[in-house]
Each structure stands twice: as structure tokens, then as C-alpha cells.
């Protein structure tokens, strides 16, 4: 014979199993959208020109130079620069040089050089 506790436990388990699929659908619907192809998680994402790897960027613009763009400061770095590459800045992506220039990015240090040139000696 089944005891009262066994029947209650079985009833509780059956109820949980009945609501599990509905809960899974709700959770899946509320899941955040996947990151863009470039892997950028910055709020100012530029879809189609930000890339998470050099290979992806090179496939987008095989004849152009690649840069590592800091998405916060809008400064870019060329290969060989100590800040070039994934992991060097919190919010960055690989880009084609022409795309970076067309979207308001500038060469790193260019602002400082322009400001220094304007100072009277």
C-alpha cells in the first residue's frame, strides 16, 4: 500500500513535471539576444563592420588594412601596436580601416598630436 506521504510526493512531482515545459518556453523567450558576429557587447555596436577575429575582418575586406578599434574612445590601433588585438581593451573589435574611418574612428594618438600642434610655443 502507498502511504499518504508517497501519494502526496507523487502528486507534487507530477505537478512540477506538468509546469516544467511551460516554464522552459517562458525562459527561452526571455533569453537575451546573441552577441553580434564580432562578439562586441558594447552598446554602440556597428553590425557588419565589427569582428571578433582577424580572420572574420579579413574575409569582409581582403584588400584593406585591419585595425583594432576601441569602441569607447573610437581610437584604432594597427598591427604591431601594443594595444592591437582582442583582450587589450574591454570594448573593442577588429575592423577594416576604411570602415573605421567612415564611422568616426581615428588613429590612436591623433587627438593628442593635433592638440599639441595647436599650442603656441
Q: 120: number of CA atoms within 13 Å, CB side?
A: 0
Q: Render pLDDT for 42-97 as a digit per residue (tens, 0 to 9).
A: 455 677 889 999 999 999 999 999 999 999 999 999 999 988 987 777 889 999 99
Q: Render pLDDT for 15-56 as a digit per residue (tens, 0 to 9).
A: 656 655 655 555 555 543 333 444 444 455 677 889 999 999
Q: Are residues 19 and 58 in the same domain?
A: no
- State the pTM of this model: 0.56
The answer to whether position 45 is within a domain reads no
Domain total of the chain: 2
What DSSP string runs through the chain? ---HHHHHHHHHHHHHHHHHHHHHHHHHHTSPPPPPTT---STT--TTT-BSSHHHHHHH-TTSPEEEEETTTTEEEETTSTT-STTSSSSEEEEEHHHHHHTT-EETTHHHHHHHHHS--
The answer to whether position 9 is within a domain reads yes
The answer to whether position 49 is within a domain reads no
Range of the structural domain that residue 61 is part of: 54-118
Amino acid at each position: 500500500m502507498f502511504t499518504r506521504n508517497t501519494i502526496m510526493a507523487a502528486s507534487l512531482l507530477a505537478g512540477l513535471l506538468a509546469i516544467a515545459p511551460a516554464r522552459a518556453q517562458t525562459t527561452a523567450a526571455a533569453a537575451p539576444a546573441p552577441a553580434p558576429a564580432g562578439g562586441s557587447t558594447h552598446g554602440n555596436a556597428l553590425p557588419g563592420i565589427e569582428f571578433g577575429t582577424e580572420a572574420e575582418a579579413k574575409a569582409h575586406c581582403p584588400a584593406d588594412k585591419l585595425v583594432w578599434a576601441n569602441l569607447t574612445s573610437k581610437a584604432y590601433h594597427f598591427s604591431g601596436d601594443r594595444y592591437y588585438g582582442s583582450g587589450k581593451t574591454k570594448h573593442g573589435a577588429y575592423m577594416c580601416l576604411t570602415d573605421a574611418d567612415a564611422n568616426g574612428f581615428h588613429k590612436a594618438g591623433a587627438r593628442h598630436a593635433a592638440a599639441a600642434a595647436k599650442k603656441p610655443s
